[in-house]
Structure 1
């Protein structure tokens, strides 16, 4: 089981997504926790590393937990614990991130398996066009 924390940032019916260097699919921003980190600490650190912005900790709110086979890892599940949050700064690709994009439901085939489940949920609830 791969345990990951993700940031769901939606605007105008689109969701912020990222593509790492050398990867062909898009992933929601976030990542794996370091030993002893809380979900909030992981979210703040990962988003700062990947997108060069600061998550406003007081605004962090749970948005669901989703599971699917990990992309590129047969027989391994990924559990994505998702949060919404406000941020400060200007979004920019940083660290291992090569591209930052805004995706819609029509882009569902361009994301990882767990992200597809999240896209379905957001589309069904009217949050993702």
Structure 2
């Protein structure tokens, strides 16, 4: 099985909703994040990805490491993702979609509706909320 190493953010707002994003050309929503570049730490990679994807410039102190989780990759058949996940609580849910992101969606983890969610979000991250 091919493994893809990523960083991801479990971002919540004051109402307990979780922020998800959908990349252009895909159907599943997932937690913001992505692949670290060569030489980047997990925190550096996540901070860069959050600026690129949703316009959030956060500090190291804003990020709380939750753990590492493995799940089937959402958009790469035959692959799994191993994600180092950090929690970020936003007092204000305002953000802007950028980079390769087509749209974002705040979901209620207790009742996400019929939105197509990545396995990492369903199998691990929503359960933490």
Structure with higher RCO (Cα < 8 A, 6+ apart): 2
- Stretches of structure 1 that go unaligned for 5 or more consecutive residues are none
TM-score (norm 2): 0.84
Whether the 8 Å contact between 1:16 and 1:103 is mirrored in structure 2 is: yes
- Report what 2:103 is aligned to: 99
- Report what 2:4 is aligned to: 2
Query: Counterparts of 1:95 and 1:27 in 2: how far apart (Å)?
Result: 15
- Report what 2:22 is aligned to: 19
Whether the 8 Å contact between 1:16 and 1:101 is mirrored in structure 2 is: yes
What SS is found at the alignment partner of 2:112? Answer: helix
State the 4+ residue runs in structure 1 displaced beyond 6 angstroms.
none
Query: Counterparts of 1:110 and 1:118 in 2: how far apart (Å)?
Result: 15
RMSD between aligned alpha carbons?
A: 2.1
Whether the 8 Å contact between 2:37 and 2:45 is mirrored in structure 1 is: yes
- Report what 1:73 is aligned to: 76
- Give the direction of change, closer, same or farther, for the CA distance of 1:107–1:85 in structure 2 (3 Å limit): closer
TM-score (norm 1): 0.84
Shift of 1:32: 0.3
- Stretches of structure 2 that go unaligned for 5 or more consecutive residues are none
